[in-house]
Structure 1
Amino acid sequence: MILRPAQFAALILTALALVPSGAHLLELPNKIGLSQADYFVVQGVYRGWAMLGLLWIAALIANAVMAFLVRLQVRPFRLAMLSTLCFAVLFAIFFIWTLPANQATENWTLVPAGWDSLRAQWEYSHALNSAVVFIALCLTCLSVISWRPANS
């Protein structure tokens, strides 16, 4: 049966997607008040983190596959679809707020005028995405535990 491995993949990938998002949320209180020089130094630790965006793509796909596989049961299907939708929302937040801040600062190597508003845009968009991924994880878990085998 392909369903159980698909559910497992959706759970693991959604949980892993929460790790970098959660890290951004947890660092926010310590970074938001840093001076420009200190902030740009700290932002350097994120070089290479773009690859972690693959977790978002993988989690979106895994939840969509799980939704398809449980489509005959309304509750698990809706929950899996809502989790998939969360990842679509996450991408919208990223492309509307996070990516433009990265581009304006050339990935935090260039200090443009108004850099502090870009910092707020970057930090709070990541914080919002952390909440969205957490909701997605809850929905994925609820989908998995609400699914029932056909013979039960």
Structure 2
Amino acid sequence: MTLKAVRFAALMLAALTLGMGFCHLLQLPARMGWDQYLWVGSTVQGGLYSLFGSIGAIIDVLTVISLGLLAYLVREHHRPGVMLALGAALLFAAALLLWWVLVYPVNVELAKWVNGPVPSDWTVYRARWEWGHATISLFEFVGFAALIGSVLADTPRSGAQ
């Protein structure tokens, strides 16, 4: 694979991952005000996020792999921006790790609510789920900025600026 092809794949995948995370971040203010029936109905029982867990998970993992490969290739080709590329890979990897630490345990609990009773402390789970996703999206945002910076660092300057 060429550096340019990996860079393209990394940019596309990182943009898709950031898009999913930014979606959660933009929804947070409204969703934190929803009552139990609306929040549980849409999040747990309505399947609103079902493709996030399947297709989204694949995209997240491929993003981390492509960013790691990009950092390696930028270093191997002695191109500028290697630390930014590495930073992007580490930030997206940290975001994925945070999903496992912050959101996955809540998802396990939410799965019990599909056909069962919703506990009285459901707002604790909602807060952890929503704020967990918000935290993850901030890591992805900074990682995407680092990725863009790595590309710009290796962009030749032209006479017109």
* TM-score, L = length of structure 2: 0.85
Q: 1:108, 1:144 → 2: CA distance? A: 45
Report the equivalent of 2:106.
Answer: 101
Change (3 A) 1:108 1:88: farther
| 2:79–2:154 CA contact under 8 A, matched in 1 | no
Q: 1:100, 1:41 → 2: CA distance? A: 19
Change (3 A) 1:108 1:134: farther
Change (3 A) 1:94 1:13: same
How many pairs are equivalent? 149
Q: 1:7, 1:89 → 2: CA distance? A: 20
Q: 1:145, 1:108 → 2: CA distance? A: 47
Quote the RMSD (CA, aligned, Å). Answer: 1.9
Report the equivalent of 2:18.
Answer: 18
Q: Which amino acid aligns with 1:48?
A: L
Question: Mind listing any 5+ residue stretches in structure 1 that lack a counterpart?
Answer: none
Report the equivalent of 2:30.
Answer: 30
Question: Structure 1 residue 69 and structure 2 residue 73: aligned?
Answer: yes
Question: Structure 1 residue 119 and structure 2 residue 123: aligned?
Answer: no
The alpha carbon displacement at 1:33 in A equals: 1.3
Q: 1:89, 1:101 → 2: CA distance? A: 18
Q: 2:38, 2:17 → 1: CA distance? A: 27
Worse overlay, 28-37 or 74-83: 74-83
> Aligned match of 2:154 in 133, 147, 151?
147
Question: Mind listing any 5+ residue stretches in structure 2 that lack a counterpart?
Answer: 157-161
Q: Identity of aligned pairs, percent?
A: 31
Question: Structure 1 residue 48 and structure 2 residue 51: aligned?
Answer: yes
Report the equivalent of 2:159.
Answer: none
* TM-score, L = length of structure 1: 0.89
Worse overlay, 69-78 or 127-136: 69-78
